[in-house]
C-alpha cells in the first residue's frame, strides 16, 4: 500500500494538519477516491523530496472542514473535490460554490 500513510478519523483531521503545518511541510495535493460507498480523502504533504500522506475515510453526506486557514493554496483542490465528488467542504477562503467546473452532470464522480 501507499508508503508513509497515516489514517486519521475526520474529527482529528484539523489537529493533524496543524501539526504538519507547524513542522513546516508544504501541501502537495489533495485528492478524493470513491471506494465502495465511502470516499477516501488523501492529503499529501512534502518536505524537499520526502512526501507523506494523511488519509481520511468519510461517509456520503459528511461535511469536511477546509484547511485553507493553514494552507491558503488549497482552495483549488477543495473546490475541485466539491465540484467533482459532491463532498461538502466548509470554510474555503475562495469558495467558487460549484462554479470551478461547470459540468452537465452534477458531481460526476459521485
Partner 1 sequence: MRISKSPWLLHYDGSSCNGCDIEVLAATTPRFDVERFGIINTGNPRHADIFLCTGGVNSQNQDVVRQIYDQMPDPKVVLACGICACDGGIFKDCYNILGGTDTVIPVDVYVPGCAVRPEALIDGVVKALKILDEKSEKMKRGEYRSLTSAEYAESLKKTDNKAEAAGMEEKDA
Partner 2 sequence: MAAKRSVIPFGPQHPVLPEPIHIDLVTEDEKVVEAIPSIGFVHRGLENLVTKKDFGEMVYVAERICGICSFGHGYGYVDAIEHIMNIEPTGRAKYIRTLLFELSRMHSHILWLGLMADAFGFESLFMETWKYREKVLDMLEAATGGRVIFSIMRIGGLRKDVPDDILSGFLPELDKIEEGIRACEKAFLSDPAVLGRLKGVGYLSKEDAVKLGCEGPFLRASGVARDNRMKGYAAYSDMDFDIITSDDGDSYGRCYVRIQEIYQSANIIRQCIEKMPKEGIYVPIKGFPNGEYMTIIEQPRGGACYYVHASGKKFIERMRVRTPTFANIPALAKTLQGCDVADVPILVVTIDPCISCTER
- Which residue ranges make up the site for partner 2 (CB under 8 A)? 1-2, 26-29, 31, 33-35, 42, 44, 48-49, 51, 53, 71-73, 75-76, 94, 96, 99-103, 108-109
- The answer to whether 69 and 17 are in contact (CB under 8 A) is no
Closest approach, Cβ 101 to partner 1, in A, equals: 7
The footprint of partner 1 (CB under 8 A) covers: 101-105, 108
Residue 76 touches which of partner 1, partner 2, none (Cβ within 5-8 Å per kind): partner 2
Kindly tell me which of 90 and 106 has the beta carbon lying closer to partner 1.
106
Provide the pairing of β-strand 88-90 with 63-65: parallel
Q: At CA 85, angle to CA 43 and CA 11, rounded to 5?
A: 45
**What is the C-alpha separation between 101 and 85, in angstroms, rounded?**
11
Smaller CB distance to partner 1: residue 61 or 104? Answer: 104
CA 75 remoteness from chain centre: 10
Amino acid at each position: 500500500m501507499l508508503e508513509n500513510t497515516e489514517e486519521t478519523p475526520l474529527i482529528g483531521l484539523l489537529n493533524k494538519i496543524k501539526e504538519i503545518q507547524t513542522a513546516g511541510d508544504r501541501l502537495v495535493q489533495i485528492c478524493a477516491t470513491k471506494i465502495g460507498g465511502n470516499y477516501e480523502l488523501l492529503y499529501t504533504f512534502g518536505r524537499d523530496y520526502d512526501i507523506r500522506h494523511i488519509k481520511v475515510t468519510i461517509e456520503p453526506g459528511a461535511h469536511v472542514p477546509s484547511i485553507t486557514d493553514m494552507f491558503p493554496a488549497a482552495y483549488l483542490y477543495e473546490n475541485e473535490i466539491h465540484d467533482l465528488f459532491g463532498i461538502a467542504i466548509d470554510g474555503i477562503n475562495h469558495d467558487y460554490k460549484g462554479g470551478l467546473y461547470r459540468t452537465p452532470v452534477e458531481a460526476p464522480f459521485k
